[in-house]
Amino acid sequence: MKDEETKQIEAWFRVQKKKLIKGELLPYQKRKLLEVMPELAFFCQENLVASVVPFSLEKQELMRLAILGKKKPSSSPRLSDYLEKGNELFDAEFRQRILNLNPLWIIGEGACLEEIKYELTKSARNGEQRPDARHELYGMIFNILVNNTSEYFDSFFKRKILALNPSWFEEKLPPNEKEELLSFAKEGYKPNHNTKNYRVLYYLTNKEDHRYDQDFDLKIRRLAPHWFP
């Protein structure tokens, strides 16, 4: 006997598949659907498959840990093999995903990280804009360092930046990001954990995160309470 949540998800996929076949989905909607159902690429006329590479369960779990700001796990003996260029197990697509999700797994926590903190502090002191967390390496690392739930959280660094340039903590999400998530909630589709939408959902509904949005949190929990066990 299937539970109600499973039935809703299956119904959503059936609707999306019909829309895909009829050509009714926008390009970004097709990409999101293919991220969780790559087998539907057969129905696409556009060459969208190249950007959607299915990963093993092990790699999916590693990406989930990276998204949540966990430190690079030592319990995964093959992780370094996947990330190290020249290794026979090297996975370029997986490495790029990890770099986008948690670059500290790649660059490490030593002198290089201290240099990045120094450059970020200098930029904040000079009144420069906060680096973009979606497209710039320094922006991604900044968000990891100031996120209270991250294992890389640096309270001293966060207080210093807040004193130097408080505008860096004013969230400037494009309006359609939140609307897209609310639309997903209405349709019964929860974003896959290795996508950007999942990361946005996570920090907007996490009270410990500086980007938490109470109004959005209340709305989406009302629409999709089963997303939050």
146 and 129 in a single domain? The answer is yes
Model confidence pLDDT, tens digit, residues 10-62: 666 667 766 766 666 666 666 666 665 555 544 443 333 334 456 777 887 88
Round the average pLDDT of the chain to a whole number and report it: 76
Q: How confident is the model at residue 224 (pLDDT cuts 50, 70, 90)?
A: confident
46 and 63 in a single domain? The answer is no
Domain that includes residue 17, residue range: 4-51
Q: How confident is the model at residue 118 (pLDDT cuts 50, 70, 90)?
A: very high
Query: 122 is written with which tokens?
Result: 């200098």
Is residue 161 within 8 Å of 120, Cβ to Cβ? yes
115 and 140 in a single domain? The answer is yes
* Euclidean distance between CA atoms 40 and 211, whole angstroms: 35
More confident residue, 188 or 102: 102
Burial of 60 (0-12, 13-18, 19+ CB in 10 A): middle
31 and 45 in a single domain? The answer is yes
pTM higher than 0.75, yes or no? no
With a CB cutoff of 8 Å and minimum separation 6, the contacts of 102 are: 66, 67, 69, 70, 140, 144
Residue type, 120: L
20 and 38 in a single domain? The answer is yes
> Among the three residues 169, 188, 211, which one is the final residue of a domain in this structure?
169
Q: How many domains does the chain have?
A: 4
Q: How confident is the model at residue 117 (pLDDT cuts 50, 70, 90)?
A: very high
Reduce the DSSP state of residue 158 to 3 states and report it: helix
84 and 69 in a single domain? The answer is yes
